[in-house]
Amino acid sequence: MNTNMFWTKIKNLVVLLMLVIAMTACQKETYPLTMEGAIKKAEKVIRRYPGYDWYASKNVLEPGTTMQYSKFGILWDRPELIHEYVTPNYRAWLVAIVEVGADVASAPDECLHLFIDADTGHYDEVWLTGMAIVEWGSTPFSRAMRAQGE
C-alpha cells in the first residue's frame, strides 16, 4: 500500500470518528419518564386545583440543584425578592400549579411545586412563596387545554 493511500484512509477514519463523537454529544439525555409522563403523574394533584394554571419544566432538574424562585417566577433585579430552594436528591421534572389571573395586587403567597422523579415517577409536593425561575415547556398548559375543551 502506498503512503498516500494510507494517509487517505487515516483521514477518512478520523473524519468518521469525529462525526460519531459529534452525533453522540448532540444526543439529548433520555429518561424513563418523559415530560408528558410527568404531567400524567401530576394530573391527580392538578385536578385538586380546578381553574388553576399549571406549567411543566422544559428540562429535567438535576439532583440537589439550587433553584431560584420569586413572586410570578420573575428574575427581579432586587436580590431581596429572589429566594432559593434546593431540589430533591433525584432528577426531576417540575410542575408548578398557580392561581389563574393572579396580578401584583392579588398574587397568591404560595405556589405548589411538584418535583416528579424522572426515573420512578414518585413526586414530592412543595409549597414555595413564589414560582420557580426555570425554563417552562409552555405557558401555561392548562389555558391551552381549556381552550381545546380538554
Taking the domains of the chain in order of start, what are their residue ranges? 35-147
Estimate to the nearest angstrom the gap between the alpha carbon of 129 and the chain centroid. 19
What 3-state class would DSSP assign to 65?
Answer: coil
pLDDT of residue 149 exceeding 80, the answer is no
pLDDT per residue as tens digits for the range 115-143: 999 999 999 999 998 889 899 886 566 55
Q: What is the pLDDT of residue 143?
A: 54
What 3-state class would DSSP assign to 73?
Answer: helix
- What is the rounded CA–CA span in Å between residue 120 and residue 36? 14
- What is the rounded CA–CA span in Å between residue 13 and residue 144? 50
pLDDT band at 106 (very low <50, low <70, confident <90, very high): low
pLDDT of residue 113 exceeding 70, the answer is yes
- What is the rounded CA–CA span in Å between residue 56 and residue 136? 6
Q: Which residue has the higher pLDDT, 106 or 66?
A: 66
pLDDT per residue as tens digits for the range 19-71: 666 655 554 567 788 888 998 999 999 999 887 888 899 999 999 999 999 88
Q: Which residue has the higher pLDDT, 76 or 141?
A: 76
pLDDT band at 95 (very low <50, low <70, confident <90, very high): very high
